[in-house]
Amino acid sequence: MQKEAQLNNFDFLRIVAVLLVLINHQFDLTRRVAPGLFSFQSMGGIGVLIFFSISGYLVAQSWDRDSSVPRFLARRVIRIWPGLIMVTLLAAFLLGPLASSLPMAAYFHAPEFRGYFATLEMRIQFDLPGVFKDNPWGSAVNGSLWTLPLEVRWYVVLAVLGLAGILRRRFLVLLGAVAFAIFVFVIRDAQHRVDRSLLNEFGAFFFYGVCLNYFNDIWTRRPVLIAALLAVISFALAKTGYQYAAFFAIFPFAVIWIGTSSTPVLRRFGRFGDFSYGMYIYAFPVQQTVIWLSGNRISLIQGLIVSAICTAILAFISWHLVERRGLALKRFIRKPARQQLVAAT
């Protein structure tokens, strides 16, 4: 796995994505206005869209290697939950008692304390009793986790489509993905709606990645030509007022094209481990803690630097002590040897 990671730029892109989220949150959590890249998505939102595009591409490959639903879902569980369990326990039992304004006994007996563990059931709870209540943003302990249930839902949808045999018909997958994107970005007009569905928006980017996996043999032979065609489509959509749709038309392709490339230096970002998930799940509580300890009296840049360093350290520890050991469980959910032999012939 690590050898493969060194051959492409995906680890680099994931670090870029998590830094976009971290920087955006530093503005939000200190009640400053973040610089806008686009009117339809925040800087952090762009980072999340990078994650979903990459996820669709790579998770579809995982399904292709082994189309057993139980094993497919088990692989998703051991990637997400070990790190999630650890960050939840640390927040509830270490950070919470230290940062709470309540006496320790009252903290542990509060309903919010027990309710916080619903996060492990993908019912994300943001608050712990008395924690960060005087921070500028409010009491949210880990506001980044809300995207995880959305991603898990699209994993399940992918597994259902695979079980139904639809993923074996790539043009049907493409037709469905295009129809869904038209519904999200044109019919429902996600760009201009107040009641927009982020679940659907992220799902469109996820299935764009899925399609790029199934048409890998076509676009990798002529990536410049495909990019040019998509750029024309993007330009036409932008001229008709659908800027978000225009962005969607080209952005996931650019992400996957860059990700599958093997660029000197960039392809080496994963040589010490995949820290992007750890950074994603630890950054928000670290940033809230820095703001709480400093009373929000340090500059945005100082807070950002301190938070980024602390988050990177925790992500390093999370990868080597928790996540990588969780991924080692994959050896117990491998495809039976007989099926591997049949697949190889």
Confidence band of 194 (pLDDT split at 50, 70, 90): confident
pLDDT band at 338 (very low <50, low <70, confident <90, very high): low
Residue partners of 271: CB distance under 8 A and separation at least 6: 2, 5, 6
The mean pLDDT of 149-172, rounded to a whole number, is 96
CA distance 31 to 25: 9
The count of other CB atoms within 10 Å of the CB of residue 214 is: 21
Looking at residue 7, its pLDDT comes to 85
pLDDT at 209: 98
Distances (CA, A) of 340 to 59, 126, 327, 336, 344: 19, 43, 20, 6, 6
Burial of 189 per CB tally in 10 Å (0-12, 13-18, 19+): middle
Tell me if residue 190 falls in helix, strand or coil: coil
Query: pLDDT exceeding 90 applies to what percent of the chain?
Result: 88
Cα–Cα distance measured from residue 54 to residue 209, given in angstroms and rounded to the nearest whole number = 6
Pairwise CA distance, residues 41 & 244, whole Å: 8
Q: What is the pLDDT at residue 17?
A: 97
pLDDT at 193: 84
Q: Residue 1: which pLDDT band, with cuts at 50, 70 and 90?
A: very low
How high is the pLDDT of residue 337?
Answer: 52
**What pLDDT was estimated at residue 5?**
41
Residue entry with tokens 């005087």: 134
- At residue 195 the predicted structure's pLDDT band, cuts being 50, 70 and 90, is confident
Residue 342: pLDDT band by 50, 70, 90 thresholds?
Answer: very low
What average pLDDT does the structure give for the chain? 93
| Residue 3 reports pLDDT greater than 60 | no
Residue type, 316: F
What's the alpha-carbon Rg for the chain, to the nearest Å? Answer: 21
Q: What is the pLDDT of residues 81-121, one digit of tens each?
A: 999 999 999 999 999 999 999 999 999 999 999 999 999 99
Q: Reply yes or no on whether the pLDDT at 339 is more than 60.
A: no
Q: What is the DSSP letter of 39?
A: S
- Domain residue ranges of the chain, discontinuous segments joined by +: 2-344
More confident residue, 202 or 1: 202
Q: For residue 127, what are the β-bridge partners?
A: 140
Residue pair 95/285 in contact by the 8 Å Cβ criterion: yes
Q: Around Cβ 129, how many Cβ atoms within 10 Å?
A: 22
Q: What is the pLDDT of residues 270-310, one digit of tens each?
A: 888 899 999 999 999 999 999 999 999 999 999 999 999 99
CB neighbours of 9 closer than 8 A, spacing ≥ 6?
A: 258, 259, 260, 261, 262, 263, 266, 267, 269
User: In this structure, what token pair is assigned to residue 50?
Assistant: 């990078």
